[in-house]
Structure 1
Amino acid sequence: VCPDGIDIYFENVAGRVLEAVIPLFNFWARMPVCGLIAQYNMQDLPQGTNMLPALMRAILTYRLHIEGFIVRDFADMHGDFQRDMSEWVREGRVKYKEHRVAGLENAPDTLIGLLKGENFGKVVIEVSDDPTG
């Protein structure tokens, strides 16, 4: 996995994936941090290995650039993003994954599974048939 290392890692979870990524960073790698979903429901500090020393060592050794990324900071670019991204998805240049579940009655288990990392891709709960289909 990643035989050439990692130049950019978009952090949205701050969990086990980050732990696996830390030793794979290349020199001058970048890590925008957009979310911490693995920590959203935490009530206490996690038990086990403290990854802070490894992260700090990687920041120093590999000269990492880490920056918070809050989408509202780019609100003025939203229209351009919508236009460009829609085109790229239509052209197949950008692909996405969805985890679709039918029925509102399945929403609680699906959303709990989302927080446990049991899905891959954007969770979509279908509450009715597609009226355009």
Structure 2
Amino acid sequence: LVVDEFGFDAAIDYRGEDIRKALRTHAPDGVDVYFDNVGGDVLDAVLPRLARGARVIVCGAVSQYNSTEPKGPANYLSLLVNRATMTGMVVFDYADRYAEGVARLAAWRAEGRLTSMEDVATGGVAAFPDTLMRLFRGENRGKLVLKIAD
């Protein structure tokens, strides 16, 4: 799906593949840019594969949100060895550009350059807790949306 429909060069199934081995295959010269929304073990697998001068953007850490003992990156010294940088990015920092972003994304969608997929759950507000947990269990395909009324 990620390769065939969304146009990426490669994809790694973090549940069914050895991430470190797959990164060696798909990024033999190292990872230049990594946008992290996961944290935890996935981030730890990527850090040793960074290319020199790589950039890591941290935008979330979904693997840590429900953890009673959240952990930070264990392989952070790879940032030093590879002269890489890691910085945080919060979407609210760009609130003054939301309209520009919406317009650009809408144009790309209309041109077929951007594909989206929604997984619509039904059941109203009462279904919210289970729907939210589907998100954390990775049981959705695409943007998970809860339909609360027609």
TM-score interval (norm. to shorter): 0.7 to 0.9
Q: Which runs of 5+ in 1 are unaligned?
A: none
Q: Which runs of 5+ in 2 are unaligned?
A: 1-21
SS in 1 for 2:36: coil
Residue aligning to 1:116: 137
1:65 and 2:85 aligned: yes
1:125 and 2:149 aligned: no
Higher RCO (CA-CA < 8 Å; seq separation 6+): 1
SS in 2 for 1:9: strand
Residue aligning to 1:14: 39
RMSD: 2.2
Q: For this pair of structures, how many residues does the alignment match?
A: 124
Q: TM-score, normalised by structure 1?
A: 0.77
Which aligned segments of 4 or more residues in structure 1 are displaced greater than 3 angstroms?
none
**Identity %, equivalent residues:** 36
Aligned-pair CA distance for 1:123:
0.8
CA distance in 1, matches of 2:51, 2:93: 28
**1:43-98, CA deviations, whole angstroms, 9 ceiling, x for partnerless residues?**
2245xxx842x222x10111111111011211221111111111112212122333
Name which of structure 1's ranges 70-79 and 17-26 shifts more when overlaid on structure 2.
Answer: 17-26
Q: TM-score, normalised by structure 2?
A: 0.69
